[in-house]
Amino acid sequence: MPQEPINFGPDQNSSNDELGGNSPYAINIYKDEKGTIYKRPGIKVYTGVAPSGVVDATGISGLYSTNDGQLFAVNNQVNSRTIYKVANGSATPVNGTGVDKLIGNTRPVFTETEVYLIIAGGLDIQKVHLITLASSRLGGDPPKASHVAANSSRLLANDLYVDKTKIRFSGIFQGTVDTTEMEDWTNDGNPDHGGFFTAEARPDNIVAMHENTNEIFVWGVDNVQVFVPDSTLIFAPAATREYGCLAPYSIIHHDGEYFWLDQHRRIVYSDGREFKNIEKPIKKNLEALINPTDCFGFRVLMGSQEFFCWTFVTDQVTFVYQVDGGWGTWSSWDLEAGNFSKLNVLSSYLRRDGGVNVVGTYDGRIGRLDMDTPDDLGQLVVAEAATGFIDHGTDNRKLCKSIKISGRRGSNSTVSLGRLEWRDAANDNWSGPLFVDFGSTGDNYIVKEFRSLGIYNRRQWKFTFSDSVNLSLVRVMEDFEPLSI
């Protein structure tokens, strides 16, 4: 009697057509190197650092941890945003007199110098002294900017209003005492003062700018240009490619290279020289989006697992690429409506002083992602995965003799449940469900068998992690008997 696995979970080779047999969707799921699938990390209270309750009811749209470990957050109030210092279980607004707010209506972009935290948000650039926590506007007539970076002892920023094809830069500043050149943006020809360089390989406006220590990446609508520090030109062009940027905040920095959504709705990654794209399994989904331009991206690194996440705000969907895994989506669960809702993550930051994945939520809380947490700050995380329509390599009818489900459970004292369903055509209702009892405390590894599940030509399977404890699905095997056509 033939026996074959039923493979759930993210699949890097997923087909756009569910008849292709691969997994058409995986919600709140990731898999390890052996193919075992788990719920995504939940959000837990960031004990000892952030408050357990609401920090700001408008939401947390920006997070940043400085080189000396200070954590800052920015709320989601349009045009007048409070900057918080987060420490010791409290979130305290930074001080200032009338100009302590970040102004503008774009997502906060952060950088830092030896003395200051620098934030761009669409209008005047803001500075926060890292010792006194005094917050004020950056002086010296810098541009009104959506993006800011520090490189080669200078600040750099795009110009949203005067000349959208230029990156302007400050004078050279060093040390912790004299920082005046940080606020010298004068373009007078003196190489120690401010100036600009133009990114117009093609006449399109700059939409984003970032640095990776050695280089400056500048994205337009239709191309990306890479600039390097130069003793004569200050910043000189090094490479230009026809990969533009459709969503300015889709850009994710990863160890010297970047991932982003380009003008053709592709997910591109590059070190500035070689370019590849990874979106093929979800290309149809990307093309169906109503508004891809409001996407923001973030990176999650936990243990041996790494994820790149892109949230499309208008469409309320978060696509997640698991390195060496595949594509899925992450969502929150609306308990009242009984269905999936937008992921309750408005901002994220991977701390460099310990690798903690800090997140800010739409409802204004600050937490941290955790592999062993089965909920989002008390809100149930439901995970679900479906296969495509499986035919086991033959169009003949098959008799499903049995399904064997192997799994593990967490240590919670309540009984853990999963749910198995199936259907034999795309317009059929789901059959079942069969509830899979993963047992109580001490039942850490179980095998459940369900027998005589009918005859089919092709069959789609769905498994749901519906319980409030951690479960892992180790293996699902089907014993079947081929029949005549």
Residue 13 has pLDDT above 60, yes or no: no
- Span 295-350, pLDDT tens digits: 999 999 998 899 999 999 999 999 999 988 889 999 999 988 889 999 999 999 99
- The whole-number pLDDT of residue 407 equals 85
- The whole-number pLDDT of residue 462 equals 94
pTM: predicted TM-score of the whole model, two decimal places? 0.93
- Span 253-296, pLDDT tens digits: 998 899 999 999 999 999 888 899 999 989 999 999 999 999 99
Residue 20 has pLDDT above 50, yes or no: no
- The whole-number pLDDT of residue 21 equals 41
The values of phi and psi at residue 285, to 5°, are -65, -40
Residues 103-116: what's their mean pLDDT? Answer: 95
CA distance linking residue 264 with residue 399, whole number of Å: 45
Residue 412 has pLDDT above 70, yes or no: no
Give the residue with greater pLDDT, 175 vs 377.
377
Q: What is the mean pLDDT of the chain?
A: 90
Residues 369-393: what's their mean pLDDT? Answer: 92
Domains and CATH numbers, the chain: 3-29+384-482 (2.60.120), 42-379 (2.130.10.10)
- The whole-number pLDDT of residue 409 equals 72
Q: What is the 3-state secondary structure (H, E, C) of the chain?
A: CCEEECCCCCECCCCCCHHHCCCCEEECEEECCCCCEEECCEEEECCCCCCCCCCCCCCEEEEEECCCCCEEEEECCCCCECEEEEECCEEEECECCCCCCECCCCCCEEEECCCEEEEECCCCCEEEECCCCEEEECCCCCCCCCCEEEECCEEEEECCCCCCCEEEECCCCCCCCCCHHHHCCCCCCCCCCCEEEECCCCCCCEEEEEECCCCEEEEECCCEEEEEEECCCEEEEEEEECCCCCCCECCEEECCEEEEECCCCCEEEECCCCEEECCHHHHHHHHCCCCHHHEEEEEEEECCEEEEEEEECCCCEEEEEECCCCEEEECEEECCCCEEECCCCCEEEECCCCCCEEEECCCCCEEEEECCCCEECCEECCEEEECCCECCCCCCCEEEEEEEEEEEECCCCCCCEEEEEEECCCCCCCEEEEEEECCCCCCCEEEEEEECCCEECCEEEEEEECCCCCEEEEEEEEEEEECCC
* CB neighbour burial string for 468-477, b if at least 16 within 10 angstroms, e if fewer: bbbbbbbbbe
Single-letter amino acid code for the residue at 79? N
Residues 157-172: what's their mean pLDDT? Answer: 95
